[in-house]
A and B are shown apart, each in its own frame.
Chain A
Amino acid sequence: MTTSERMLRVDIWRGNEKGDYQSFEVPERENQTVLDVVTYIQRHLDAALAYRFACRVGVCGSCAMTVNGRPRWTCRTHVSRVVKGGKLTISPLKNMPVIRDLVTDMTLFFDKWQAARGRFVAGDGPKDELAPVQPDTKERMAASEAIECINCGVCYSACDVVSWRDDYLGPAALNRAWAAYNDVRDGDRTGILKAISAGNGCHTCHTHQSCAEHCPVALNPTFSIAGLKRASLKAKLKGELSK
């Protein structure tokens, strides 16, 4: 380290639900990501710092944290884009219980994916026959727009409605349900509409669009939720949800 090296001041949350910020000095580098900063601290300054990451290239969705007040994927967030006055404040994602330091408990987040029936249910067709799905059909295009979610939890952390109601399924689970609903091979598409029409489902969304604003892969869960609202209302008026 040279004396001319510029340093970042990094305040990191330590503890679980109760805790405080701890300050570190980290050398500033070119093309440095927020995950690089956290990793530097863990490897050189405090080995006990708990955080989560895996791929480091924006695919796995493990490393999301709150950086200077906004939920972000830290492996693809360059420090130069978010640093304010040479300072970074890093805390765990909001709307999830904190296990330790920057690690949150995502159990409820993923339970809600199951509650929204965001999984494929096979139909009655023969198992060895490929179902033809044309790429230019309405359903396939709607599914394509919602399908690239990396499960990072950024939208869930940014959602005001989740912060008000912890039973709300949330943007990620509902976005997944919309992709699953538009899979014409699914054997029980009405089952998805039933799952997301409960009092804690898609109609609870206020259309604030925080999810779309913060999604690191530029998905629009609000748009998916609007699709679910329309589809479930149509199904309800046709009496399909009470069968």
Chain B
Amino acid sequence: MTPISYFLQRGTAMLMVPLIITHLALIIMAVQGGLSAEEILARTRGSMLWAGFYGVFVFAASIHAGIGMQTILREWTPLGRLASANIGHMLITVLWILGARAIYAVVWA
């Protein structure tokens, strides 16, 4: 890991702590409150607050997972630095696209 990937890994981890707690609390509250999918979508559609919240979450999670996967591949498989880095970068891109697609679906679609 380089200083920058180390910074991004630790920084995204710190950023995700409150986001994960909020996300889990939200799920529990929605389920316990008996909200239907339509009722949840009614609250998220057009909400820039939730778009921003999950936008930051997806950004942080994709970077964190990509760097983590790169490290795991480098340490636990015979893959070299370049191959591990390429797979890590691909994972960042894929997770970011999937996350962005999900945010689009619950906020704008």
Interface set of A (CB-CB < 8 Å, partner B): 161, 164-165, 197-199, 203-204, 229, 232-233, 235-237, 241
Contacts and interface: CB of A to CB of B under 8 A. Distances in A.
B7 A233 contact: yes
B32 interface: no
5 contacts: A161-B75, A165-B75, A197-B2, A233-B6, A235-B3
A197 B75 contact: no
B75 A236 contact: no
Contact of A164 (B1, B6, B76, B81): B76
Given A199-B81, A236-B3, 16 more contacts: A165-B74, A165-B75, A197-B2, A198-B2, A199-B1, A203-B2, A203-B3, A203-B5, A203-B6, A204-B1, A229-B6, A232-B3, A233-B6, A235-B3, A236-B7, A241-B3
Nearest 10 CB-CB pairings of A with B: A203-B1, A164-B75, A203-B6, A236-B3, A233-B3, A232-B3, A197-B3, A233-B7, A204-B1, A165-B75
B4 interface: yes
Contacts, number: 29
A165 B51 CA distance: 41
Chain B at the A interface: SS class: helix
Nearest to B81: A199
A214 B74 CA distance: 25
